[in-house]
């Protein structure tokens, strides 16, 4: 059994998790992690992968890249029921319009974060700790599964760092692995996203990109504009992805809604993404990403 828990950093390669990793490299967050884990949905824009390549050179601990496959391809993969009916999984939080009533809503069957982020990271954390060590832990503690929710963990095998900042406090939730403690170093240090950006600037680091799938429905208009203007090839991929999803759902069984990536429930390439200033209005609130990915 391990005498002290190992520290493992969940790396999303965005502003907060990158700041957390670099602060650890500077010794401003201790103890030093033994590794970071990045879950690759294979749908991030090239700017994120370029940033991750650079970030790896700045860290004194390894970054493990794990993947559960191509999220975009999985969404579009036709499946067939036992009686021959065709359907596709709805594992993204699409905005929907009911074709019969016109009612707007959001797809409830969201599983992208769990399937393509959380589970691959958990699998890697288990590998790092070691199956034998985990088995010994269970044998020592002899915990019945039905009592896990009420169990106070005496000797966790690992501490998993999550890059949630103080302004995202509502997203801080404990992980599912009972033998792993969850830690939020940025919250401990009262670091907001703006403070993370200020820390990066103070240290002379470039500004990290936003880390999110190119077709994430949680994009703000600010991010959609950035993608359209800075990475137009990726924006066009999102446009074509939306059309492909709409086609696949149209030929699926028991699905009476049309799916959209933008909250306006308009085709992405037809959405008015002009800023308030371009509309001749003054914006009192900056349009920010909701940060719902949870890693």
pLDDT tens string, the chain, 295 residues long: the values are 446 899 999 999 999 999 999 999 999 999 999 999 999 999 999 999 999 999 999 999 999 999 999 999 999 988 888 888 887 776 899 999 999 999 999 887 778 999 999 999 999 999 999 999 999 988 887 665 545 555 555 678 999 999 999 999 998 998 889 899 999 999 999 999 999 999 999 999 999 998 999 999 999 999 999 999 999 999 999 999 999 999 988 888 767 889 999 999 999 999 999 877 776 654 443 444 444 454 5
Q: Does 86 share its domain with 48?
A: no
Instruction: Print the domain residue range for 197.
Output: 6-69+111-202
Residue 147 shares a structural domain with residue 184: yes
The pTM (predicted TM-score) of the whole model is 0.87
**161 and 48 belong to one structural domain:** yes
Instruction: Identify the domain boundary among 202, 224, 250.
Output: 202
Residues 102 and 239 in one domain: yes
Domains held by the chain: number: 2
Question: Where residue 41 sits, what CATH number does that domain have?
Answer: 3.40.50.620
What is the rounded CA–CA span in Å between residue 279 and residue 162? 38
Structure tokens at 166: 């103080």
Among 34, 9, 2, 12, CA closest to 213: 12
Spatial distance between the Cα atoms of 227 and 165, rounded to a whole number of angstroms: 24
Phi, psi (5° rounding) for residue 117?
-120, -65
Question: Does residue 291 lie in a domain region?
Answer: no
Alpha helices in 99-183 (DSSP H): 112-113, 119-129, 131-141
258 within some domain: yes
What per-residue confidence (pLDDT) applies to 230? Answer: 94
Q: Within a domain: residue 287? A: no
Instruction: Let me know whether 137 and 172 are in one domain.
Output: yes
- Structure confidence at residue 293 (pLDDT): 57
Residue 152: per-residue pLDDT: 53
| pLDDT score at 84 | 81
140 and 46 within one domain = yes
* Same domain assignment for residues 18 and 99: no
38 DSSP β-pair partners: 65
Could you tell me if 39 and 170 lie in one domain? Answer: yes
Q: What is the pLDDT of residue 30?
A: 97
What pLDDT is recorded for position 83?
84
Same domain assignment for residues 98 and 119: no
Q: Is 165 a member of any domain? A: yes
Q: Are residues 222 and 174 in the same domain?
A: no
């Amino acid at each position: 059994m391990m005498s002290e828990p190992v520290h493992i950093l969940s790396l999303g390669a965005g502003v907060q998790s990158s700041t957390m990793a670099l602060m650890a490299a500077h010794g401003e967050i201790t103890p030093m992690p033994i590794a970071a884990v990045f879950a690759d949905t294979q749908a991030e824009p090239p700017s994120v992968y370029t940033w991750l390549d650079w970030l790896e050179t700045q860290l004194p601990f390894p970054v493990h890249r794990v993947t559960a496959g191509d999220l975009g391809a999985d969404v579009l993969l036709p499946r067939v029921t036992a009686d021959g009916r065709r359907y596709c999984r709805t594992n993204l939080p699409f905005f929907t319009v009911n074709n019969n009533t016109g009612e707007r809503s959001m797809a409830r069957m969201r599983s992208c974060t769990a399937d393509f982020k959380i589970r691959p990271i958990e699998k890697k954390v288990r590998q790092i700790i070691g199956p034998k060590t985990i088995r010994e832990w269970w044998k020592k503690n002899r915990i019945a599964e039905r009592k896990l929710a009420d169990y106070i963990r005496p000797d966790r095998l690992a501490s998993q760092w999550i890059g949630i900042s103080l302004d995202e406090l509502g997203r801080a939730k404990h992980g599912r692995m009972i033998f792993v403690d969850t830690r939020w170093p940025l919250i401990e240090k009262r670091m907001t996203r703006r403070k993370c950006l200020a820390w990066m600037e103070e240290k002379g680091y470039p500004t990290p990109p936003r880390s999110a799938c190119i077709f994430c429905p949680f994009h703000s208009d600010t991010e959609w504009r950035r993608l359209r203007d800075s990475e137009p090839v990726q924006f066009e991929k999102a446009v074509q992805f939306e059309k492909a999803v709409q086609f696949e759902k149209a030929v699926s069984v028991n699905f009476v809604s049309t799916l959209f990536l933008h909250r306006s429930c308009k085709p992405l390439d037809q959405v008015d993404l002009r800023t308030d200033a371009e509309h001749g209005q003054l914006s009192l609130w900056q349009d920010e990403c909701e940060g719902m990915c949870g890693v």
